Structure 1
Amino acid sequence: MVDRVGSEPQYEVFADEFLEHARDGLYNAHYDRPACLELLGDVDGRTVLDAACGPGLYAEELVARGAHVIGCDLSPRMVELASQRIPSGEFHVHDLNHPIDWLPDSSVDLVLFALAVEYVDHRTELLRELRRILRPNGALVVSRPHPTGDWLRLGGNYFETRVIEEVWSRGWQVRYWVAPLERAFEELRAAGFLIEQLVEPRPTLAGAEVDTERYQRLLTQPTGFLAIRAIPDPRRT
């Protein structure tokens, strides 16, 4: 049984294909991105770290809303695509299993960590790093697959934290962690965060035109993602 995801940039081999898929796809453009952007709130004039930035689709919208964006991703090709998409951004190739030593303490207002925590082996340590670089009045927005949806699809022991290996519909081979909701919350607590808001998103109406069947499923079943806004716990230094 595999017990770690590792530091291989899995999305490197299909980065361009992923950009094409995520730009207007139901799950990204009409489901996760709107939910995360709403939780981030007003970003005008604020510095945002886009952790695991992918090809820069979230960063593009953040810049359009007035943010200064710093991004990082494990995949060099993703960083290249993001840099091309947002010339004003600052993007780095970085493995989030390691300290973000190129950012000082209290240097960003917001952190976006969309659909990537499940690829990190050392999650609590990473979340501590994100808390370190956040200003005291800052916030972290993290989205991830809904644990109930994972369990309904995969079966087995819902409470077991384990690594899954799959081949997705486009032939993309992926390896990632699944964990119960309590584990996700405990990692945030252990890293010094308080959960301010939890959202189980519904797709935007425009998503019905992209994929009617999956749109209806996301409206009625916990088979997609969830998103959390967390703030640094002021009781902890």
Structure 2
Amino acid sequence: MRPHVEVNDYDSFGAAYSAENEVNLINAHYERPAMLDLAGDVRGRRILDAGCGSGPLAAALRDRGAVVTGFDSSAVMVGLARDRLGEDADVHVADLSAPLPFADGGFDDVTASLVLHYLRDWTAPLSELRRVLRPGGRLVLSVNHPLLHKMLNPQADYFAVTEWTDEYTFSGQSAVLSYWHRPLHAMTDAFSDAGFQVAVVSEPPWSPDTPAELLPPQFAGRTSFVSFLFFVLIAN
């Protein structure tokens, strides 16, 4: 009998997930380069990395001159982020579904890399992210592409907000992740309701430095694939 695996339990598989995240196609050569490209020149900008995980994006932003604060709901992930960034790094255990321990308007930018699709209700989380941004600040985020659930589950209703799960193996360790699918219009409505203006919607190619051996054979002749959708939002 297969052992029971808790859903979204990053405390149990965080180290294995982090190790794979460093080198795989979708994180290291697709999602993270796209986030950095959308963030652009961050020198001197105060950035909150929401759901920072083990800190690869925070480290890259800091290397580019940003002043970075991070938080994650997983204590294991925060520990890994501190190992990466240094014990004096400004990294916290905090939950995006609860009030955040940061001042109003304290950040120029917020990054939320593959975070919101874990949440059924975006109202309070987006409100908190808007609160900690200065007016005119940016929220740069990535989520599962709204077509992904329909592609993997052809019988699904694209227009219904629906929970779905998938099984993974990260560095040899089994994990189960649960996501909330929502159609594109539900995403943009939530952004507007929270006080954001959509500035960019992006479906980027994978990074040009991606090793050829990471690309599946069916990607031959292509530069992009359906996986994540990226936004840059401006705080009104």
Q: Same fold (TM over 0.5)?
A: yes
1:206 aligns with 2:205: no
Q: 140-149 vs 216-225, which deviates more?
A: 216-225
Alignment correspondent of 2:143: 144
Alignment partner of 1:191 out of 182, 190, 194: 194
Q: 1:80-229 to 2 correspondence within 5 Å?
A: 80-87=79-86, 88-100=88-100, 102-155=101-154, 156-170=156-170, 171-213=174-216, 216=219, 219=222, 222-229=225-232
AA aligned to 2:42 is V
Shift of 1:205: 2.2
Give the RMSD, CA atoms, in angstroms. Answer: 1.9
Whole-angstrom CA distance in 1 between matches of 2:218 and 2:42: 28
Alignment correspondent of 2:235: 232
Shift of 1:220: 6.0
Q: 154-163 vs 71-80, which deviates more?
A: 154-163
More helix by share: 1
Instruction: Assess if the C-alpha contact under 8 Å between 1:148 and 1:222 holds in 2.
Output: no
Whole-angstrom CA distance in 2 between matches of 1:180 and 1:96: 21
TM-score normalized by the length of structure 1: 0.89
Shift of 1:123: 1.1
Go from structure 1 to structure 2 and tell me whether the alpha carbon gap of 1:195 and 1:217 turns closer, same or farther (over 3 Å shift).
farther
Instruction: Assess if the C-alpha contact under 8 Å between 1:82 and 1:91 holds in 2.
Output: yes
Instruction: Assess if the C-alpha contact under 8 Å between 2:8 and 2:177 holds in 1.
Output: no
**Stretches of structure 2 lacking an aligned partner (at least 5 in a row):** 1-6
TM-score normalized by the length of structure 2: 0.89
Shift of 1:145: 1.0
Seq. identity, %: 34
Q: What's the CA shift string for 1:49-79, capped at 9, x where partnerless?
A: 0000000000110110111111111110000
Q: 218-227 vs 13-22, which deviates more?
A: 218-227
Q: 164-173 vs 205-214, which deviates more?
A: 205-214
Go from structure 1 to structure 2 and tell me whether the alpha carbon gap of 1:220 and 1:40 turns closer, same or farther (over 3 Å shift).
closer
Shift of 1:207: 2.0
Shift of 1:146: 0.7
